Amino acid sequence: MKIALQGLLPEELAALCRETGQPAFRAKQLWHWLQVQGVSDWGQMGNLPGAWKQRLAATHTPAAAVLAADSRDAGGTRKWLARLDDGETVETVLIPARDWTTVCLSTQVGCKMGCVFCASGQCGFARNLSAGEMVAQVHLVAAVAGRRPDNVVYMGMGEPFDNYAEVLKSIRLLNHPDGLKIGARRITISTSGVIPGIERLADEGLQVELSVSLHAPNSKLRRSLMPIENKYPLADLLAACREYTVKTKRFVTFEYTLIDGVNDSTGLAEELAGHLRKFSCRVNLIPLSPVEEYAGRAPKREAIESFQRVLAGRGVSVTLRDSKGQGVNAACGQLRRRTLS
């Protein structure tokens, strides 16, 4: 498989130039085409020598993620299937809002975590994405949508902390002052609760937002939804999150996907509030998006509101993801499943 050029930092492009006998300014030119112009076609890089491009093309690609399929929901959320160099496909989502746009990236082809309600979790794991394949997804969206995205969320297919180094590198590239310049505060990583990843992130000194998928306030229920509970139990996870908030002075957002009759009772809301009071955090409630692989449904509106009221009444800051936000999750593995079947 060819190396994704969008995954190379300026110093790595400079080294590539040295190795291939080119002056240093070529690295700057190449970076500009890739990260500023968002070009994915050698032919458009007019100021680079043809012979050099040909030589690089044997081992490297500027087209690490290309458009394979397109869909759009009523709220304006667009989902793309991006084809990678080896033919694997992942989902990339664009969520437009009035004043900004958000891209939802995939970090792996499939996912090992096997959450029962998630299409990505149910279709197995193929491989990790490289940093370049993640950055290329943002450029793909920017090119198709005709504008640079404002926010990036790592909430597509895959568990970001199961691919930690490449995810972090992609953040440094997206955040780079000479590139897309996506502010760290506008980048969110969502994890199903990989504790070592949370601990490492706390030490990075990055201003990125951290979301942790809880979906249940006790181990027994969580285990029935998320196999990761067997490895990283809830009590340890909450302790790691608390530690993160203390160390970084940042809050954590807990994602809670509401499933009718499974995790949506007011008793469970009280149990959840019990854990989260006096904790620098907020809860984001997400009504389940139906997936073929799982029989669950979203609760009725009243149940969602009761759950929300209990949390708010106990002093927990809580938001309900709107229909556009739901589109993000609806994307998690589903477009890929539909297209492959």
- Give me the residues that bind ligand SF4 (CB under 6 A), please: 111, 113-115, 118, 120-121, 157-159, 192, 332
Which range touches ligand SAH (CB under 6 A), out of 15-23, 236-244, 283-291, 307-315? 283-291
Q: Whose Cβ is closer to ligand SAH: residue 54's or residue 224's?
A: 224
Rounded Cα–Cα distance for residues 197 and 172 (Å): 16
Which residues, in sequence order, are CB contacts of 131 under 8 Å at separation 6+? 4, 6, 7, 166, 167, 169, 170, 173
Give the CA distances from residue 148 to residues 98, 154, 174, 179, 215, in Å, rounded to whole numbers and listed in that order: 15, 17, 11, 11, 32
The one of ligand SAH, ligand SF4, none whose footprint includes residue 188, by CB under 5 to 8 A per kind, is none
Rounded Cα–Cα distance for residues 215 and 294 (Å): 15
Rounded Cα–Cα distance for residues 61 and 139 (Å): 14
Considering the complex, what minimum distance in angstroms separates the CB of residue 102 from ligand SF4?
17
Considering the complex, what minimum distance in angstroms separates the CB of residue 132 from ligand SF4?
21
Q: Whose Cβ is closer to ligand SF4: residue 8's or residue 115's?
A: 115
The one of ligand SAH, ligand SF4, none whose footprint includes residue 257, by CB under 5 to 8 A per kind, is ligand SAH
Which range touches ligand SAH (CB under 6 A), out of 16-24, 29-37, 48-56, 184-192? 184-192
The residue whose Cβ lies closest to ligand SF4 is: 121
Binding flag, residue 329, ligand SAH (CB under 6 A):
yes
Binding flag, residue 137, ligand SAH (CB under 6 A):
no
The one of ligand SF4, ligand SAH, none whose footprint includes residue 232, by CB under 5 to 8 A per kind, is none
19 counts as catalytic: no
Which range touches ligand SAH (CB under 6 A), out of 114-122, 126-134, 169-177, 202-210? 114-122
CB 114, CB 162: distance < 8 Å:
no
302 counts as catalytic: no
Binding flag, residue 166, ligand SAH (CB under 6 A):
no
Binding flag, residue 175, ligand SAH (CB under 6 A):
no
Which residues, in sequence order, are CB contacts of 305 under 8 Å at separation 6+? none
Binding flag, residue 108, ligand SAH (CB under 6 A):
no
- Tell me, what amino acid is at 26? R
Q: Which of 190, 248, 263, 308 binds ligand SAH (CB under 6 A)?
A: 190
The one of ligand SAH, ligand SF4, none whose footprint includes residue 284, by CB under 5 to 8 A per kind, is none
Q: Whose Cβ is closer to ligand SF4: residue 157's or residue 281's?
A: 157
Q: Which of 84, 105, 173, 286 binds ligand SAH (CB under 6 A)?
A: 286
Please identify which of the residues 91, 159, 166, 255 carries the catalytic annotation: 91
Which range touches ligand SAH (CB under 6 A), out of 21-29, 144-152, 189-197, 302-310? 189-197
Residue with tokens 């040295």: 18
The one of ligand SF4, ligand SAH, none whose footprint includes residue 263, by CB under 5 to 8 A per kind, is none
- Can you give the binding site for ligand SAH, defined by CB under 6 A? 115, 117-118, 155, 159, 190-192, 213, 255, 257, 286, 288-289, 291, 329, 332
Kindly list the catalytic residues: 91, 332
